[in-house]
A and B are shown apart, each in its own frame.
Chain A
């Protein structure tokens, strides 16, 4: 047969599992993989561990030695992505040529879209900062600073990738008291500085609170190394949103300048023949009379036809 055998899932559970992984109109939150390379320094493994904790609930670790070279061969990474249904990854390795190496990337349709290599120049662990930490799974506020993020194409993409990586679940509403975590990314003089802060809400005399920050770590000083970006065509394709997700224009509803809602109602023409008017005795009697008359006349007519 021309066709290869197509296997249907045998159990309902298996079917659901496959359905979960199919492309969806409204997508689930992206899973991130944290992969330890063949050789890692303590700095890299600690960084991986702490960033994994930052992204927990939507992250998996590959803790064993994974001898991969993402920039040379992407297939094992894509295999991992398929296995865990993940579309973000961070790969850490350490060697003489590229000490303390982090590769940050994302997938589109289980193929590498962007991949950016960063070297860790300085790493300060969470443990070195006294004081409280943020609870797991808080949606962070992201701050980007520096002109480079606007000017350089690679930095622009890096910014987008970092937003994609750290923004957490996409939500329609957020608890005001839950805005606790701030990730600050600064680009300056060829360096990328990542800092994590905890938000303290203070009184300000008005409704909006005064913000104070407290550093909680981990903090990283990174330099940009190799970069592999998606072609414009592929990137554009990956940005394509389904038509149905866009809100449709509501018909017949409008708002005026005062903010009140106005609606148009389209009605059919009213037939005045069937309009129920006030019932009166006089009218009723007349009707009956006329009906009986009509009946008589029709009977006469029919008789006439017969004969």
Chain B
């Protein structure tokens, strides 16, 4: 037994003499961040050694710290990837500033907001579609697309056409251009809304049967569309002031009507003392309606989830939705007329 112990001890001593030790002693333990392969040594430096033999001292210090880092790295779990042993590093601990700020969520477009409110889901359309004329599959859009009505060489004049001499090709082109322009404007408005800058107005879109209100608006705009913003535009002798001019800011005079001012102040004071909240009825009603719509959409979505197939053929929900759609259709129809 004693023989064995002696032998083991001797072997250990031999090994130690053969190899240098991997152990390092430090008064204050190092901060080690294995994620960054980083050590921070806060021990005071040896000034005399540093002065006497700087390079040697730095090297030995670096060696000791590296040894400590390696010792911790070798304790981490390893893996074999492509015949190389890799060690899995933990996440870096040292806080390092970001390069750019954290990205914000993109603001929803007007349509996305509406779709969310109504619970409308996106449906994927296939890229290819069946073209009845050529009897083959063709892309839905783009070059060599199927069911292409822009390439037709003749367009039938409808029976109920008001003016049979209208160039239908030109009309179609113009309508397409207007749709594109409208879409571009809506894109810009969405961007403006997301950046919280002033949302550009639509202005006046051309219509074929303008209403009285529309004409009034157009007139007011036309008046202002001069280099001097309508300052020198002549008025008709019996012309009434337009309703569509914007509001001008008005300021009270600096001195004068004391009675009116005191009344105003008293009114404010009264209101504060009474503590009766002002109810904006239109706003409240709108909020109520919106809440109702939202809950309805939610309910419908839940029903859909239950049925799984429900999207296409629903009973009650569909009817409700139909009712809403009718309203929209009316609007759209108005534009077309």
Please give the residue numbers on chain A whose beta carbons come within 8 Å of chain B beta carbons, in ascending order: 1-3, 6, 22-25, 27-28, 30, 87, 106-110, 113, 139-147, 149-150, 159-160, 163-164, 167, 170-177, 179, 182, 184, 186, 188, 193, 195, 197, 199, 202-213, 215, 235, 237-242
Contact = CB atoms under 8 A, between A and B. Distances in A.
Interface residues of B, number: 62
A113 B96 CA distance: 12
Interface in B23-44: 35-44
A186 B58 contact: yes
A175 B79 CA distance: 9
A3 B197 contact: yes
A142 B45 contact: no
Contacts of B18: 205
A204 B67 CA distance: 12
- The SS class assigned to the B binding surface is mixed
18 contacts: A2-B199, A23-B100, A27-B98, A27-B99, A141-B37, A144-B41, A145-B45, A149-B42, A150-B42, A163-B36, A167-B96, A179-B70, A193-B54, A204-B21, A207-B74, A213-B66, A239-B95, A240-B98
Which interface residue of B40, B71, B188 has the most chain A CB atoms within 10 A?
B40
B37 A24 contact: no
B58 A195 contact: yes
Contact of A108 (B36, B97, B198): B97
A87 B99 CA distance: 6
Interface in B1-24: 15-16, 18-22
Interface in B75-89: 78-79, 81, 84-89
Contacts of B99: 27-28, 30, 87, 107-108
B103 interface: yes
Contacts of A144: 38-41
A209 B22 contact: yes
A242 B102 contact: yes
B286 to A, nearest CB: 26
Given A143-B39, A144-B40, A173 B200 contact: no
Nearest to A245: B102
Contact of B66 (A6, A182, A203): A182
Contacts of B102: 23, 25, 240-242
B314 interface: no
Nearest to B37: A141
A109 to B, nearest CB: 5
A32 B95 CA distance: 19
